[in-house]
Structure 1
Amino acid sequence: MRKFGYARVSTSQQSLDIQVSRLKSEGVEDFRIFTDKLSGKQFDRDGLNTLLVKVEKGDLILITKLDRLGRDTLDMIKLVNQFLKLGVHIRFLDDGLSTEGATGKLLITILSAIAEAERTRILERTNEGREAAKRRGVKFGRKRSVDRSKVIDLFNSGIKASEIASKLQIGRSTVYKILKESLNSNDIK
């Protein structure tokens, strides 16, 4: 039985180091660890696809957590079944789960459904909180750094958008955006 490892983070800014280190401590050799820096929602992942090609009957894949394999319950079930059809088992180290028995496969299916439902609830609560904050007047996004009145004054004095952009060291598109917003609020003469 050969051991393989799979590690995934959702963005390129996140580090795989902790997962990879854990896989190595479980006896997985460097060249048998496959990684992705991509959302678990994405089913087509280079590291995962390569892993699917490399494993053979009797191999074992180690993954630190259930959600590192995928986010969507149907995709998780599909992936687990793909590996099982190849005769390959998966062991989730932190969750203490494995597809090596019938009960493990059932638990993985149930837990991935629960995890997906929890992510949906978190998203709903986050959106509700954001909407409540907007109603209270909280502004989101970065603070404006361009003096909008200066852009409008320069434009009202006859200076063209390209010259304003150059003079204020901002993009022409920013000048046009400010002018468009100002036109709607009747700041432009």
Structure 2
Amino acid sequence: MRLFGYARVSTSQQSLDIQFKALKCAGVKVSRIFSDKGSGSNTNRKGLELLRLKVEDGDVVLVKKLDRLGRDTADMIHLIKEFEEQGVAVKFLDDGISTEGEMGKMVVTILSAVAQAERHRILERTNEGRQEAKLKGIRFGRKRTVDRNKVLSMYSQGVGATAIANQLKIARSTVYKIIDDMKKDFST
């Protein structure tokens, strides 16, 4: 029986260190830890793909938490079944559960469904908060760095879009967007 590890974070700004440390403490060799930095919403991840190729009958895959393997219940069940067909067990360190045995598979299925429902609730609350903020006039996204008034002033003086773009060192498409936005504002 060989131990393998899988770690994943959602964004490239997050660190895998805590998961790596937990996997190493559980006895996984560093060379057998596979990782990804990206969403768990699909199973087409480079580290996961490599792990799937390396494991063999009798191996065990350790994952720190249930949601690190995947986000979606269907994907989790599919992955677990895929590992099971290869004779590979999956153990979740923090959750204290394993896919070994029928009870373990059932618990994993239930927990992944609960985790998915919680993610949906979080998304709903986030979207509600965002809509409420928009109604209060809060704007999202990065701050504008282009002086829109300068673009419009130059345009009204007859300066062409290409000349404006060159002078202000911005894309011509940005100039056109600002002009189009102004025209829309006047037409409403």
| Residue of structure 2 in register with 1:123 after alignment | 123
- TM-score after normalising by structure 1: 0.93
SS at match of 1:41: coil
Per-residue Cα deviation, 1:11-59 (whole angstroms, up to 9, x for no partner) = 2222212111211111111111111122111211121122112111111
Residue 92 (structure 1) aligned with residue 84 (structure 2): no
- Read off the aligned partner of 2:64 and give its amino acid letter: T
What is the deviation of 1:101? 2.7
Q: Number of aligned pairs?
A: 187
Match of 2:13 in 1: 13
Q: How does 1:47-58 map to 2 (within 5 A)?
A: 47-58=47-58
1:88 Cα shift?
Answer: 0.9
Q: What code does the residue aligned with 2:18 have?
A: I
- How far did 1:185 drift? 2.3
Q: Which residue of 1 aligns with 2:40?
A: 40
Cα distance in 2 for partners of 1:185, 1:72 equals 43
Match of 1:61 in 2: 61
Task: Please report how far the alpha carbon of residue 91 of structure 1 lies from its aligned counterpart in structure 2 after TM superposition.
Answer: 0.7
8 Å contact from structure 2 (residues 42, 75) kept in 1: no
Tell me which residue corresponds to 2:157: 157
- CA shift, 1:162, in A, is 1.4
Deviations 1:129-186 (A, max 9, x none): 1111111222222222222121111111111111111212222111111111112223
TM-score (norm 2): 0.94
Question: Counterparts of 1:105-120 in structure 2 under 5 Å?
Answer: 105-120=105-120
Counterpart CA distance in 1 for 2:171 and 2:52 is 47
Question: Alignment RMSD, CA only?
Answer: 1.4
Q: Secondary structure at the match of 1:14?
A: coil
Residue 136 in structure 1 maps to residue 136 in structure 2: yes
Point out where structure 1 has 5 or more consecutive residues left out of the alignment. none
